[in-house]
């Protein structure tokens, strides 16, 4: 037994060795045979033969060096590999001979494989792959929903967090964090820098299961920070550490200055790929434990937790729902009405992070799948044509003794060779695109940082290539087998028309391409229309020739009203004196800046539309000239009027939308308004003017109830003058209206800000036109991808139809010649061929419309002011597609109509 095993092993070793040492072995064999023949010749000469005779006799006795070398090679046991190499070589030669077929097939496969691979990489990285934390499947986001209270989504407050953390059994660990909406400036060193910061509870990193790569994180029980204590310590991002501190390990334990405040100790540096809660987060503060914030109703923070093993999100949610009614017992001052109306939610963290992009990505995946199917149908069609053309060759091979296995090998090696080559081209392009992250900004898609051309994607692309190769090989093999079985060889059959079944298969493949192209075109036109609608939305201001930038006072030194106002006022005055500047005004919140928090106030007043529930408005502070600078139309009244006249109810401006919501009309100048949430001194207002509506966070989600409160930037204003909320906010966005198009105010502004105070960061510099474009970036991405998918589908589909019709014409040349000989005219023949195209188109269009109808409901969520079943768009897609298909079919039809009868009859 042992000996046999040893021999078997030795055999394997020998095979591998001879595989590796192939060249050496061949050389040795040649030497051995040369020695053999030399010996034989010498002996023959010694026996008295002439040199020539001796040589001839020696070769005769040997029996052919070539043949025995071949036999020796087979006996070495590596023949299958070499046979494979030979198969590949032969296939390549055959494919090279038919470039008119191979090149379209190759390109089609490249497009199909590349598209599918790229989309797979994206979808896998974002939707499928677990988050890059240990045992990430157990991470959940904890929030609330209170639709009845006007808060469809509400988070956690320190109070609810502490309460759940103490009582809930479903979680291993519960954490709390929130992102600092105003942002933070690093103010040490020369250039101040605005960064993104998150306040996190001590349990935050342990919950995620991530620790700093350098240094450590604040351990729970190391002390609780309360207001008045020295600032809490921080950890910083790897990026900030490298970018600003040159990856100096000594930074850990040191302190850095944020917002010109007391320096904060850096406890550690997070790993480079850690990007929670945001890819740009650079600083994580230890959250102060502020019982004052325990006002349980301030649900603006976010809960993240790790479930105990085996606990489902539903079980966890049920437990929280059971616990929630006990909250007022723990916090007697809680808003009981709110608690009664809210419900806890527990969502897998990954799903929560990608919730916004799930649908667009699913749509993308579906489109890619369609492109793949079209690819297969297209190449399948080409290979059917090819198999048909090669019936003679195959029949000859068969007659010469090629078995079914030989034929299968032949088709398989051709199919796989083509699909592998196409795959390599497509995947190479896909890999480059994936590595470049499709040129997307990391903030445009969540988890984009995790996008990589990894092993899973490689395996996927390999599987797609293999499948494509097997598919076309199987199709050709079936085709050839079928025709050989029927035709009994068919060597003579040049005119023999393939079975009706195969004609149907051809048309079916073409029909599939037409159908899926139509679906993708419907999607693309609908998306395009939706985008067009979004772009046509009147933003309510004039974006041309306007530049904005954001300034933030660096904290200390700017405490008083005069100082902050002085800074902005200086910037404004000096900019106004710069060339090319017409107006400089400021606002606290620009429209279309998603992700920033507005102040939102409940309002009280008098009026017909006044019902029990108080309407809410977004509040922003603006300089009186802001409306002019933005070209927001003043519909009624004035922009605040004279602010130096003291008034018991100072003036505000409201948007037309708010006016209608409050009073049912815009004719409301002089009416009073109350914001009960403000201190009494700033609670009562008179409406001085009404301006046009502007969008809220997003262009497509208009929140048009704006309340504008005035702010003045003139340094040294009389403190008695009315100044809105009584302070100048620490950050403001400046709006510069250019006096002449293209004036370079940005450099002037930079220069001015730097000379006034180098510690003031100037960020978000962009034109209003860029801002508008950014607002539709998401939609443009989806629309662009749909159009790309539709265009490649249309291109592939049309070539597919063209190929099949052209082929059928060439196959029927003799028949057409006969028809013409019997009196058919050219136009009649054209109609005959066009009829065939029409049948394909009709089949495809019906199928496509049915498929699009089935998918329409899924499309709805992507759309803005467009129906997923907009008849005009469907008709447009259908007509365009039908037109293109008919042209594709018309070219071969015309050729058929112009056939020379004699030539055609001779083609047999």
Partner 1 sequence: MSDNPKTPSSGDAPRELLPGTLDLLVLKALSHGDMHGWGLAHRIEEMSEGALAISQGSLYPALQRLKRKGWVKSEWRKTENNRRARYYQVTPDGIRQLGLERENWRWSFKAVNRVLAWEEGG
| Residue spans of beta strands (DSSP E) within 336-482 | 343-348
Q: Under DSSP, is residue 570 helix (H, G, I), strand (E, B) or coil?
A: helix
Query: Quick one: which of 642, 625, 638 has its CA closest to 688?
Result: 638
How do 139-146 and 302-307 pair as beta strands?
antiparallel
Closer of 59 and 389 to partner 1 (Cβ): 59
How many other C-beta atoms lie within 10 A of the C-beta of residue 63?
9
Sign of CA dihedral 607, 610, 614, 617: negative
Helix boundaries (H) for 489-605: 500-536, 561-576
DSSP conformational letter for 127:
I
Q: Which is nearer to partner 1, 83 or 89 (CB)?
A: 83
Least distance CB 64 / partner 1 (angstroms): 6
Alpha-carbon span 831 to 890, nearest angstrom? 9
Name the minimum Å distance from CB 33 to partner 1.
7
Which CB, 86 or 322, lies closer to partner 1? 86
CB of 91 to partner 1, least distance (A): 22
Nearest to partner 1 of 38, 642 (CB atom)? 38
Smallest separation (angstroms) from partner 1 to the CB of 57: 10
List 584's β-bridge partners, or say none.
736
**Residue 29 or residue 474: which is nearer to partner 1 going by CB?**
29
Q: Closer CB to partner 1, residue 40 or residue 684?
A: 40
HSE of 141, CA atoms in CB hemisphere, 13 A: 21
Look at strands 616-622 and 706-710 and give their pairing. parallel
Please, what's the b/e burial string for 465-502 (b: 16 or more CB within 10 A of its CB; e: otherwise)? Answer: beebbebbbbbbbebbebbbeebebbeebeeeebeeeb
Rounded CA-CA distance 434/571 in Å is 43
Per DSSP, the chain holds a count of helices (H) and strands (E) of 27, 24
The least CB distance from residue 21 to partner 1, in Å, is 13
Of the pair 67, 89, the CB lying nearest partner 1 is at 67
Q: How far is the CB of 58 from partner 1 (least distance, A)?
A: 9
- Quote the least distance from Cβ 415 to partner 1, whole Å: 25
The structure tokens 């914001």 sit at 675
Q: Output the smallest distance, CB 37 to partner 1, in A.
A: 8
Closest distance between partner 1 and the C-beta of residue 819, in Å?
54
- Select 42 or 860, whichever has its Cβ closest to partner 1: 42
Q: What minimum distance in Å lies between the beta carbon of 20 and partner 1? A: 15
Contacts with partner 1, residue ranges (CB under 8 A): 3, 7, 10-11, 14-15, 28-29, 31-33, 35-36, 38-40, 60-65, 67-69, 71-72, 74-77, 79-80
Of 70 and 393, which has the nearer Cβ to partner 1? 70
What is the Cα–Cα distance from 826 to 829, expressed in whole angstroms? 5
Q: For strand 193-200 and strand 281-286, is the pairing parallel, antiparallel, or unpaired?
A: parallel
Q: In the complex with partner 1, which residue's Cβ is closer, 29 or 715?
A: 29
d(CA 358, CA 123): 9
Q: Shortest gap between Cβ of 213 and partner 1 (angstroms)?
A: 55
| Alpha carbons 740 and 398: distance in angstroms, whole number | 81
DSSP summary character for residue 675: -
Q: Which is nearer to partner 1, 14 or 744 (CB)?
A: 14
| Closest to partner 1 by CB, 29 or 478 | 29
Indicate the burial class of 18 (C-beta count within 10 angstroms; 0-12, 13-18, 19 or more). middle
617-637 burial code (b ≥16 CB/10 A, e <16):
bbbbbbbbbbbebbbbeebbb
Q: How far is the CB of 792 from partner 1 (least distance, A)?
A: 46
Q: How far is the CB of 69 from partner 1 (least distance, A)?
A: 8
Helical (H) or strand (E) element with 408: helix 404-435
Residue that has been written with the tokens 């395009």 in this structure? 528
User: 616-622 and 651-655: which strand pairing?
Assistant: unpaired
Three-state DSSP at 451 gives coil
Which CB atom, from 31 or from 226, has the smaller least distance to partner 1?
A: 31
Contact 564, 749 (CB under 8 A): no
How many other β-carbons are positioned within 10 Å of the β-carbon of residue 860?
Answer: 13
Q: Which is nearer to partner 1, 5 or 485 (CB)?
A: 5
Q: What count of residues does the chain have? A: 908
**Residue 84 vs 128, nearer CB to partner 1:** 84
Query: Of the two residues 35 and 676, which places its CB atom closer to partner 1 in the complex?
Result: 35
Q: Give the chain's radius of gyration (CA, Å).
A: 38
Nearer of residues 67 and 243 to partner 1, judged by Cβ: 67
Nearest of 327, 326, 325, 308 to residue 316 by alpha carbon: 308
| Closest CA relative to residue 450, chosen from 784, 177, 123 | 123
Q: Are strands 651-655 and 684-691 parallel, antiparallel or unpaired?
A: parallel
As measured in angstroms, the least distance from the Cβ of 510 to partner 1 is 44
Residue closer to partner 1 by CB (options 38, 226) is 38
Per-residue CA distances from 759 to 551, 567, 643 (Å): 11, 12, 32
Query: Max Cα separation, the chain?
Result: 138
**Token output for 106:** 């190759």
Cβ 397 to partner 1 shortest distance, Å: 21
Distance of closest approach, residue 56 Cβ to partner 1, in angstroms: 12
Residue 491 CB, nearest approach to partner 1 (Å): 28
- Rounded to whole angstroms, the Cα distance separating 724 from 639 reads 13
Min separation Cβ 45 and partner 1, Å: 14
- Distance of alpha carbon 447 from the chain centroid: 10
- Name the DSSP class of 727: S
Going by the DSSP 8-state scheme, the letter that residue 371 receives in this structure is: H
């Amino acid at each position: 037994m042992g000996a046999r095993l040893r021999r078997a092993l030795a055999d394997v070793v020998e095979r591998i060795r001879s595989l590796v040492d192939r060249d050496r072995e061949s050389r040795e064999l040649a030497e051995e045979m040369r020695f053999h023949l030399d010996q034989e010749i010498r002996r023959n000469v010694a026996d008295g033969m002439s040199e020539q005779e001796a040589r001839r006799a020696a070769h005769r006795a040997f029996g052919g060096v070539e043949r025995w070398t071949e036999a020796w090679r087979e006996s070495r046991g590596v023949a299958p590999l070499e046979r494979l190499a030979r198969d590949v070589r032969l296939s390549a030669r055959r494919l090279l001979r038919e470039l008119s077929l191979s090149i379209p097939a190759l390109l089609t496969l490249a497009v199909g494989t590349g598209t599918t691979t790229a989309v797979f990489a994206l979808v896998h990285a974002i939707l499928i792959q677990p988050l890059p934390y240990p045992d990430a499947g157990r991470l959940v986001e904890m929030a609330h929903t209170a639709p009845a209270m006007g808060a469809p989504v509400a988070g956690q407050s320190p109070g609810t967090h502490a309460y759940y953390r103490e009582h809930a059994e479903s979680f291993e660990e519960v954490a709390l964090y929130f992102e600092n909406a105003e942002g933070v400036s690093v103010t040490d060193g020369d250039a101040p820098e605005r960064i993104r910061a998150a306040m996190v509870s001590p349990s935050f990193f342990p919950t995620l299961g991530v620790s700093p790569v350098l240094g450590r994180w604040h351990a729970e029980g190391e002390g609780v920070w309360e207001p008045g204590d020295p600032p809490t310590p921080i950890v910083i991002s790897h990026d900030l550490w490298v970018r600003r501190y040159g990856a100096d390990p000594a930074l850990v334990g040191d302190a850095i200055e944020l917002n010109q405040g007391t320096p904060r100790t850096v406890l550690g540096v997070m790993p480079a790929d850690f990007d929670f809660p945001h890819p740009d987060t650079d600083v994580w503060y230890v959250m102060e434990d502020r019982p004052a914030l325990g006002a349980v109703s301030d649900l603006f923070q976010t809960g993240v937790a790790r479930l105990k093993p085996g606990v489902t999100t539903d079980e966890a949610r049920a437990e929280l729902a059971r616990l929630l009614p006990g909250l007022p017992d723990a916090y007697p001052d809680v808003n009981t009405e709110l608690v009664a109306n809210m419900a806890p939610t527990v969502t897998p963290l990954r799903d929560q992070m990608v919730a916004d992009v799930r649908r667009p990505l699913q749509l993308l995946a579906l489109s890619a799948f369609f492109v793949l199917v079209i690819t297969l149908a297209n190449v399948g069609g080409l290979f059917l044509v090819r198999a048909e053309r090669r019936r003679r060759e195959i029949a000859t091979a068969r007659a010469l003794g090629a078995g079914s296995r030989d034929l299968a090998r032949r088709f398989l090696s051709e199919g796989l060779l083509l699909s592998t080559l196409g795959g390599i081209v497509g995947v190479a392009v896909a890999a480059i695109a994936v590595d470049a992250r499709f040129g997307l900004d990391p903030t445009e898609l969540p988890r984009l940082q995790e996008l990589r051309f990894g092993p899973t994607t490689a395996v996927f692309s390999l599987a797609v290539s293999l499948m494509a190769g097997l598919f076309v090989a199987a199709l050709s093999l079936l085709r050839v087998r079928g025709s050989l079985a029927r035709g009994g060889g068919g060597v003579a059959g040049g005119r023999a028309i393939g079975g009706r079944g195969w004609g149907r298969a051809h048309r079916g493949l073409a029909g599939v391409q037409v159908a899926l192209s139509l679906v993708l075109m419907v999607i693309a036109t609908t998306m395009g229309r939706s985008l067009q609608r979004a772009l046509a939305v009147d933003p309510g201001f004039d974006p041309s020739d306007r530049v904005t930038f954001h300034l933030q006072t660096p904290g200390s030194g700017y405490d008083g009203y005069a100082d902050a106002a002085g800074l902005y006022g200086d910037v404004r005055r000096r900019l106004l004196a710069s060339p090319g500047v017409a107006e400089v005004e400021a606002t606290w919140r620009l429209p279309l800046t998603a992700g920033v928090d507005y102040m939102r106030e409940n309002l009280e007043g008098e009026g017909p539309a006044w019902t029990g529930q108080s309407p809410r408005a977004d509040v922003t502070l603006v300089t009186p000239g802001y409306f002019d600078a933005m070209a927001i139309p003043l519909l009624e009244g004035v922009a605040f009027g004279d602010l130096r006249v003291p008034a018991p109810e100072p003036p505000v401006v409201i948007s037309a939308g708010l006016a209608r919501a409050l009073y049912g009309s815009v004719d409301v100048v002089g009416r009073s308004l109350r914001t009960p949430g403000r201190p009494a001194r700033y609670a009562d207002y008179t409406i001085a003017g009404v301006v046009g509506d502007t969008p809220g966070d997003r262009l497509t989600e208009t929140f048009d109830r704006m309340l504008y409160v005035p702010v003045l930037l003139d340094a040294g204003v009389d403190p008695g003058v009315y100044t809105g909320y009584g302070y100048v906010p620490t950050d403001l966005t400046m709006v510069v209206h250019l006096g002449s198009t293209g004036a370079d105010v940005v450099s002037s502004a930079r220069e001015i800000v730097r000379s006034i105070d180098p510690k003031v960061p100037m960020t978000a510099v962009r034109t209003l036109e860029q801002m508008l474009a950014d607002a539709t970036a998401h939609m443009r991405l989806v629309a662009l991808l749909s159009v790309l998918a539709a265009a490649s589908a249309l291109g592939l589909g049309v070539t597919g139809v063209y190929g099949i019709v052209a082929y059928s014409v060439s196959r029927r040349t003799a028949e057409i010649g006969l028809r013409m000989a019997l009196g058919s005219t050219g136009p009649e023949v054209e109609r005959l061929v066009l009829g065939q195209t029409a049948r394909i188109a009709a089949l495809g269009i019906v199928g496509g419309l049915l498929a699009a109808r089935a998918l329409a409901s899924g499309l709805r969520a992507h759309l803005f002011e467009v129906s997923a079943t907009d008849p005009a768009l469907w008709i447009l897609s259908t007509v365009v597609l039908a037109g293109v298909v008919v042209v594709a079919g018309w070219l071969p039809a015309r050729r058929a109509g112009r056939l020379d009868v004699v030539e055609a009859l001779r083609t047999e």
